Chain A
Amino acid sequence: MEENIRPPFAVRARPWFIALPALLVLIGILYPFLTAIYYSMTAYALNRPGSVDTFVGLRNYVRMFTSEDFLYSTYITFAYALLATGIELTLGLIVAMLLNRDSRLAKIFTPTLIFPMIIPPVIGTLVWKMMMQPSVGILNPMLNAVGLPSLQWAAAPETALFSVLLVDIWMFTPFVALILLAGLRSFPSAPFEAARVDGASFWFTFRNLTLPMLSPFIIIVVVFRLMDSLKMFDIIFAMTEGGPGNTLMTYQLTAYRTSIQFQRLAQGLPYAILLYIIIYITSMYLIKAWGRAQRRAAGY
């Protein structure tokens, strides 16, 4: 009798099959992450295989926090992320507002937004690098043509951040614009018509109606862009490898240089783990804010 009641294997196994992908992902994420935390507390260097067994506690973390480059690295990591996110958000919002109308020009331009996103970041960056090349690149002659002096672009410490930001902005502003445009297009038209009848100016409507209703989309964009630019690697690496000098040595670049190029794996890991914690806390906060913004935009 009992065998008859027992459901067939396919039914009993179903929950496991459903949970399997999540389980695999969990293992795929958790295992390397925990390993990394463990390694960061050893003296592991890639050129000394036995060193992985030497447990050193928090020494690598102390070394990071007391390193003379740590403060600058923090500064450049955040400067890059905040500037990139801020400028892309502003430009993306302007582009989205301009494209959010029923004109032929908007119909032509909207699909072109996708172009920078389908170019692999490294390829895009290398093209920009060639254009920015101080002696043979095309950008300096263009500057000269409008009466501006030549720039050293990524080759000079003063303009290196500006140069990589330019590429980041070129590459990701369309993404921001697309998401915000999707947001604007999702709005009902009636409240905006009501605002027109109510005699509200463009700015008044923008401040009091458009922006609050768009805020969930803005926060989504900020989540994506802030996370991405905090851990930006490909553009900076392809452009300058973190140079000139240590001008663009963000956490991510420092971790790579220390762990891989200098082969001192354990000493580079604290940067990566610190970056992880920062991103985790920031995204948790932003996602909470997103929930609030969404309720507010929906009228609760």
Chain B
Amino acid sequence: MAELRLEHIYKTYKGGVEAVKDLNLTVKDGEFLALLGPSGCGKTSTLRMIVGLEDITSGEMYIGGRLVNRLEPNQRNVALAFETYALYPPLSVFDNIAFCLRARSVPKHEIAQRVRRVAEMLDITDILDRKPAELGGGQKQRVSLARALVRDPDVFLMDEPLSHLDAALRAHMRIELKRLHAQTGRTTILVTHDQLEAVAMAQRIAVMNLGVLQQVGTFDEIYNHPVNEFVAGFIGEPPMNILPTRPVQEGDKLWLAALDGGFRLPLPDALRAKVERSKAQTIDLGVRPIHIETLDSSSEAVDALPATVQTFESLGEEGQLAAQLGDSTVLVVTSPLLELERGDAVKLRFRPDRIHLFDAATQQAL
């Protein structure tokens, strides 16, 4: 058990590709953290540096207060469950799990005991004699987890552990992994590109993009207070609507006017101070599809914006409306019971407490 601390970590590959830039991250002892980002964001490079399969170009990494930059993987006491499982093909499941214990010359009876215990935890006692190629995806996954857990690692890392499983198994394993974490209490890092996995399992989420850590926090913090447009757009499904606007002063009221002239929105008082403080020329207005109300076209509310229906799909539990607002298309999650046709006039109301504002120049939240 240990805390993992990354300080100013850089990773530059041969040829000058900067995979990770100035990464500062602390994973608390016993915490379950998800490293989330799109492909090529540097999350796997980070993971490989933590494990020791990749050199750290600069910066310092501590596990349990011990500087581990120069240590070989086996000296770090970290375990990794590989994306491709990386089972040892010629060895039986038992031998796969026992591999690291044998490599460390653990006494035979203790090996049998520990393998048995972890196999029970993962419910794979019945396949201990089988060979890897005879296993299904879910079983391989469990063996790979068992192999990582059997040695009581200080830090337990998982690289896209669910990406090769089918949907039903994935949902099941999400619960299993969460249970496993609760049961073992290990510092755990999950690398994934799937926000659903991150949200379902991790206590905190670290969002990365283009080698740079964007934001770390609980799902609530990241979802409700994204620090920039990338995080705002990456978290949440369907993604947040981003509309470019300009602040307009009119009397004592401040308005946001769409750059394409599609709408004018009176700025809620709570946001007014932010806009005035930032002095941004153009402001990207962000609002999630579920935070937009669809009103009747006859609505008189001052913040109801007239729009035209492009498409409306009733998906059973919810409806998805794509509406044209100026030149932009706005996605709205609605009740599935609405009856809307292409070309219908509606009014959209952005919930004032759910509006996000970003400086269009820096993409940072105001």
Contact = CB atoms under 8 A, between A and B. Distances in A.
A198 B103 contact: yes
Contact of A194 (B88, B102, B133): B88
Contacts of A209: 88, 90-91
A299 B90 contact: yes
A193 B53 contact: yes
B89 A191 contact: yes
B62 interface: no
Interface string A191-227: 1011111111100100011001100000000000000
Contact of A197 (B78, B85, B91): B78
Interface in B288-346: none
B90 A200 contact: no
A204 B132 CA distance: 20
A300 interface: yes
B87 A299 contact: yes
Contacts of B151: 198-199
A200 B99 contact: yes
A296 B75 CA distance: 31
A199 B51 CA distance: 11
A84 B169 CA distance: 54
Nearest to A199: B74
B74 A190 contact: no
A32 B305 CA distance: 96
B126 interface: no
Interface string B119-138: 00000000000011110000
B104 interface: yes
A191 to B, nearest CB: 5
Contact of A200 (B51, B82, B89, B103): B103
Contact of A195 (B52, B88, B90, B133): B88
B55 to A, nearest CB: 13
Interface in B64-90: 72-75, 78-80, 82, 84-90
A296 B91 CA distance: 8
Contacts of B74: 196-200
B100 to A, nearest CB: 4
B142 interface: no
Contacts of B347: none
B147 interface: yes
A297 interface: yes
Nearest to B54: A193
A4 to B, nearest CB: 53
A194 B86 contact: yes
A273 to B, nearest CB: 39
Given A191-B89, A193-B86, A208-B88, A200 B100 contact: yes
A298 interface: yes
Interface of A: 188, 190-191, 193-201, 204, 208-209, 212-213, 296-300
Top 5 A-B residue pairs of the complex, sorted by shortest distance between their CB atoms: A199-B74, A299-B89, A190-B86, A299-B133, A198-B100
Interface of B: 51-53, 72-75, 78-80, 82, 84-91, 95, 99-100, 102-104, 131-134, 147, 151
Given A194-B86, A197-B73, A199-B103, 4 more contacts: A194-B80, A197-B78, A296-B90, A299-B132
18 contacts: A190-B85, A191-B88, A194-B147, A196-B73, A197-B73, A197-B78, A197-B80, A198-B74, A198-B147, A199-B151, A200-B74, A200-B100, A201-B103, A208-B88, A208-B95, A299-B133, A299-B134, A300-B134
